[in-house]
Amino acid sequence: MTIYSIEPGDYAHLTNLWERSARATHDFLSEDDIQFFRPLILNEYLPMVKLFCTQNPQGVINGFIGLSDDYNKDNS
H or E element in which residue 66 lies: strand 61-67
How many Å apart are CA 42 and CA 13, to the nearest integer?
9
pLDDT in tens, 7-63: 999 999 999 999 999 999 999 999 999 999 999 999 999 999 999 999 999 888 999
Residue 75 has pLDDT above 60, yes or no: no
The values of phi and psi at residue 65, to 5°, are -145, 145
First to last CA, the chain: 30
**pTM score of the predicted model:** 0.82
